[in-house]
Structures are given as C-alpha cells and as structure tokens.
C-alpha cells in the first residue's frame, strides 16, 4: 500500500480494514496545480491546510508552558507560507478562477 501511495499517489485499501483508511488519491502540491490548470482554471494559490505544527503530537501536553507554546507558534508562522513545505500537510486547499467564456464573434 505504501509503495503505491509513494509511486503514483493512489491509496487502495483492499484489506477491508478501516484502519488503513479508504481508497483515495493523494496529490503532491505541484500535481494539484497541474490538474487544476488542465481543467481550465487559473490557479491562484495552493496552500497547506495544516502546517508543520501537526507533527507536535499533543502540543498542549508536550508544551504546557505558554512561552514554549508561543515559540512553537512563532516557528509555524515563519514557515506556513513556504511552498516547499506544503507537502507536509495532510490536506491542500486550492484557490482558482475559471476564465470568463469568450463572446461569439460579432456580438
């Protein structure tokens, strides 16, 4: 399962075990941009929904002190717009526009 996810982005749960998630397709940020452009949209932005802070497992337990929590948030804020880190997120959000249809000649 993991090899296929990494090779072509397809996650196929053929086990029937819900712990292995569902059947899905995972995009890399650049793949999502290309797919949206191929559909005729102008991509304005592809952003991660979760920043790298998700890797801080149970942050309220790990960093109970306010100054450590603020330090974590400051680090996350510094990298949240870094395009090269977008793939760290479990989810991507794409914002795009559809060009207006061209009017027929003579109208």
Condensed to tens digits (0 to 9), the pLDDT of residues 3-47 reads 888 888 888 888 888 888 888 888 888 899 999 999 999 999 988
Q: What is the pLDDT of residues 61-72, one digit of tens each?
A: 767 788 888 888
40: left (phi over 0), alpha (psi -120 to 50) or beta: left
For 37, the token pair is 């452009």
107 exposed, middle or buried (CB, 10 Å; 0-12, 13-18, 19+)? exposed
Q: Where are the domains of the chain?
A: 28-97
User: Within a 10 A sphere around the Cβ of 48, how many other Cβ atoms?
Assistant: 22
Q: pTM of this prediction? A: 0.67
Q: What is the mean pLDDT of the chain?
A: 84
Q: What is the pLDDT of residues 77-107, one digit of tens each?
A: 888 788 888 888 888 999 999 988 875 555 5
- 10-11/92-97 β-pairing: unpaired
């Amino acid at each position: 399962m993991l090899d296929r996810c990494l090779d072509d982005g397809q996650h196929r749960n053929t086990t029937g075990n819900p712990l292995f998630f569902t059947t899905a397709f995972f995009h890399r940020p650049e793949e999502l941009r290309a797919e949206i452009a191929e559909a005729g949209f102008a991509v304005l932005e592809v952003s991660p929904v979760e920043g790298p802070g998700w890797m801080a497992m149970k942050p309220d337990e790990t960093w109970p002190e306010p100054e450590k929590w603020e330090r974590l948030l400051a680090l996350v804020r510094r990298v949240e717009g870094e395009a090269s880190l977008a793939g760290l997120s479990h989810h991507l959000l794409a914002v795009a526009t559809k060009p207006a249809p061209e009017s027929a000649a003579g109208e």
